[in-house]
Amino acid sequence: MVGPGKPVDTERFFVIGVNNLGSCFGSTGPASLNPATGKPWGADFPIVTVEDWVDAQARLADYLGIERFAAVMGGSLGGMQALSWAIRYPARIANALVIAAAPNLSAQNIAFNEVARAAILTDPEFHDGRYYDYGVKPVRGLRVARMIGHITYISDEQMAEKFGRQLRDGLNFSFAPEFQIESYLRYQGEKFSEYYDANTYLRITKALDYYDPASATGGSLSRALAPAQCRFLVISFTTDWRFSPARAREIVRALVENRRDVSYAEILAPHGHDAFLLDTPQYHAIVRSYLGRAAG
Amino acid sequence: MTISTRADFSTIAGWIAPGARVLDLGCGDGSLLAYLRESRSATGYGIEIDDAGVLASIGNSINVIQSDLESGLAGFEDRSFDSVILSQTLQSMRRIESIVAEMLRVGREAIISFPNFGHWSHRLQVLRGRMPVSPSLPYQWFNTPNIHLCTVADFDAFCAEQRFRVDERVVLHDARRVVLLPNLLGSLAIYRFRSS
Of A150, A240, A244, A274, the catalytic one is A240
Largest CA distance in chain A: 63
Q: What are phi and psi of A292, to 5 degrees?
A: -60, -40
Share of chain B above pLDDT 70, in %: 97
Number of CB pairs, chain A paired with chain B, less than 8 A apart: 52
Stretch A32-47: mean pLDDT, rounded? 93
- Interface residue A3 vs chain B (CB under 8 A): no
Q: How far apart are CA B63 and CA B37, in angstroms?
A: 11
Contact B75 A290 (CB under 8 A): no
Q: Is the pLDDT confidence value at B3 over 70?
A: no
- Interface residue A276 vs chain B (CB under 8 A): no
- Which pLDDT score, from 0 to 100, does residue A81 have? 98
Contacts of A264 in chain B (CB under 8 A): 64-67
Residue A258 is inside which H or E element, if any? Answer: none
Stretch A240-254: mean pLDDT, rounded? 97
Minimal CA separation from A263 to chain B, in Å: 5
Pairing of strands B107-115, B81-87: parallel
- Interface residue B68 vs chain A (CB under 8 A): no
Partner residue facing A249 (CB), from B45, B51, B75: B75
Q: How far apart are CA A54 and CA A82, in angstroms?
A: 8
pLDDT digits (tens, 9 = 90+) for B29-85: 999 999 999 999 999 999 999 999 999 999 999 999 999 999 889 989 999 999 999
- Interface residue A154 vs chain B (CB under 8 A): no
Residue A271 falls in the annotated catalytic set? no
Q: Is the pLDDT confidence value at B146 over 50?
A: yes
User: Which CA distances in Å does A189 have to A77, A121, A142, A168, A240?
Assistant: 20, 16, 7, 18, 21
Contacts of A114 (CB under 8 A, 6+ apart): none
User: Which CA distances in Å does A285 have to A101, A232, A289?
Assistant: 19, 16, 6
Stretch B5-31: mean pLDDT, rounded? 94
Task: Give residue A17's pLDDT band: very low, low, confident or very high (50, 70, 90).
Answer: very high
- Which pLDDT score, from 0 to 100, does residue A266 have? 98
Q: A126: closest CA among A199, A39, A186? A: A199
Q: A127: closest CA among A145, A116, A110, A139? A: A139
Instruction: Please state the ipTM of this predicted complex.
Output: 0.93
Q: How far apart are CA B35 and CA B101, in angstroms?
A: 26
Q: A84: closest CA among A213, A210, A217? A: A213
Minimal CA separation from B152 to chain A, in Å: 34
Tell me the average pLDDT of chain B.
95
A237 Ramachandran zone, left/alpha/beta (phi>0; psi -120 to 50): beta
Side chain identity, residue B147: I
pLDDT digits (tens, 9 = 90+) for A51-65: 999 999 999 999 999
Contacts of A138 (CB under 8 A, 6+ apart): A120, A123, A125, A126, A131, A198
Pinpoint the alpha helices (H) of B41-186: 51-59, 96-106, 120-127, 152-161, 182-185
Q: How far apart are CA A31 and CA A23, in angstroms?
A: 9
Q: Strand order of the sheet with strand B164-173?
A: A72-75, A95-99, A231-237, A262-267, B64-66, B43-48, B21-25, B81-87, B107-115, B188-195, B164-173, B176-177
Q: Is the pLDDT confidence value at A288 over 60?
A: yes
Strand partners, A96: A72, A232
Q: Are A157 and A101 in contact (CB under 8 A)?
A: no
Task: Give residue B196's pLDDT band: very low, low, confident or very high (50, 70, 90).
Answer: confident
Stretch A93-110: mean pLDDT, rounded? 97
Pinpoint the alpha helices (H) of B41-151: 51-59, 96-106, 120-127
Q: Are B54 and B66 in contact (CB under 8 A)?
A: yes
- Helix, strand or coil for residue A73? strand
Contact B75 A262 (CB under 8 A): no
pLDDT digits (tens, 9 = 90+) for A135-169: 999 999 999 999 999 999 999 999 999 999 999 98
Domain residue extents for chain B: 7-116+148-195
SS3 content of chain A, % helix, strand, coil (to 5): 50, 10, 40
Strand partners, B192: B111, B168
Contact A256 B45 (CB under 8 A): yes
Pairing of strands A95-99, A72-75: parallel
Least confident among A291-295, B88-92, B144-148: A291-295
Stretch A201-220: mean pLDDT, rounded? 97
Q: Are A72 and A85 in contact (CB under 8 A)?
A: yes
Stretch A281-292: mean pLDDT, rounded? 97
- Which pLDDT score, from 0 to 100, does residue A166 have? 95
Q: Is the pLDDT confidence value at B2 over 60?
A: no
Sign of CA dihedral B116, B118, B119, B123: positive
Contact B55 A293 (CB under 8 A): no
Q: How far apart are CA A70 and CA A92, in angstroms?
A: 9
Q: A27: closest CA among A14, A15, A16? A: A16
Q: Is the pLDDT confidence value at B13 over 80?
A: yes
Contacts of A262 in chain B (CB under 8 A): 45, 63, 65
Q: Is the pLDDT confidence value at B6 over 60?
A: yes
Nearest chain A residue to B22 by CA distance is A259
- Which pLDDT score, from 0 to 100, does residue B4 have? 53
- Which pLDDT score, from 0 to 100, does residue A295 have? 58
Contact B58 A293 (CB under 8 A): yes
Q: How far apart are CA A109 and CA A247, in angstroms?
A: 12
Contact A256 B55 (CB under 8 A): no
- Which pLDDT score, from 0 to 100, does residue A77 have? 95
Q: Is the pLDDT confidence value at A296 over 50?
A: no
Tell me the average pLDDT of chain A.
95
CATH number of the domain located at residue range(s) B7-116+148-195 in this protein = 3.40.50.150
